[in-house]
Amino acid sequence: MVRWQPDARDRLERAAIELFQEQGFAATTVPEITARAGLTTRTFHRHFADKREVLFGAVEEMPELATRMIIDAPAAQEPMTVILEGLRMVAVTRFEGRRDDLRLRREIVRSDAGLRERNLHKWSTLSEAIRAGFIARGLPATRAALLAETAVTLLHVSFDEWLDRDDDSSLFQIIENTRDLLREAIA
């Protein structure tokens, strides 16, 4: 086996996703993933703490990113503008162009109770990070919590709709439409 290759992480991800799809998440082992990728288990653990991280590792930095974006936004910017600008940036830089891959990952997550629980935790952690960002901007805790839950709801609902669609709508277009529907619903 080659000791180091620059595409090791991508190869491991591809191998893991293929195996998760073929035989299920729970039935797939790290040695099977590394064998398919042509790498060692040690290399796997250099890139991922465990096999769940293949699915969630890329989004682990999202909470910290969200908090930083909120804190760094111009002081005069309205909270919903901060949220929408953040969601636009995340949609464009993290999700656009990856719809098929994200559909497949969602399917794998939905197939396993432990992964579904981990996914819920991911959304909860993101909400807490957004709340912390707004509190750092000086907003009262209740308002910060409402804004955080709104941001996560907009992203979560829009993300699922975007993955379910077969048209060329961008994720951010769907986020804006979802925001408008939410405004109508609570008016």
Domain map of the chain by residue range? 8-55, 61-186
* pLDDT value of position 165: 95
What value does the CA radius of gyration of the chain take, rounded to a whole number of Å? 19
Helix axis angle, 141-164 to 99-110, nearest 10°: 110
pLDDT at 95 over 60: yes
Q: What is the tens place of the pLDDT at every residue in 175-184?
A: 999 999 999 9
Residue whose pair of structure tokens reads 């288990």 in the numeric block: 41
- pLDDT tens by residue, 121-148: 999 999 999 999 999 999 999 999 999 9
- The CATH number given to 8-55 is 1.10.10.60
Q: What is the Cβ-side half-sphere exposure of residue 66, based on CA atoms within 13 angstroms?
A: 31
Go through 69-103 and write b for each residue having 16 or more CB atoms within 10 A of its CB, e for each that does not: bbeebeeeeebeebbbebbeebbeebbeeeeeebe
DSSP reduced 3-state for 149: helix
Specify the pTM: 0.88
* 3-class secondary structure, 132: helix
- Please report which residue ranges of the chain form alpha helices under DSSP H: 8-23, 30-37, 41-47, 52-56, 62-72, 79-90, 99-110, 113-136, 141-164, 171-186
Look up the CATH number of domain 61-186.
1.10.357.10
- Going by C-alpha positions, the residue among 138, 174, 141 that lies closest to residue 158 is 174
**What whole-number percentage of the chain has pLDDT above 70?**
96
Mean of the per-residue pLDDT values for the chain?
Answer: 93
Give the pLDDT score at 4: 56
Tell me the pLDDT tens digit for each residue of 107-122.
999 999 999 999 999 9
Question: Can you tell me the mean pLDDT for 48-52?
Answer: 92
Say what the pLDDT of residue 74 is: 95
Mean pLDDT, range 10-37, rounded to an integer: 96
pLDDT at 169: 94
pLDDT at 187: 84
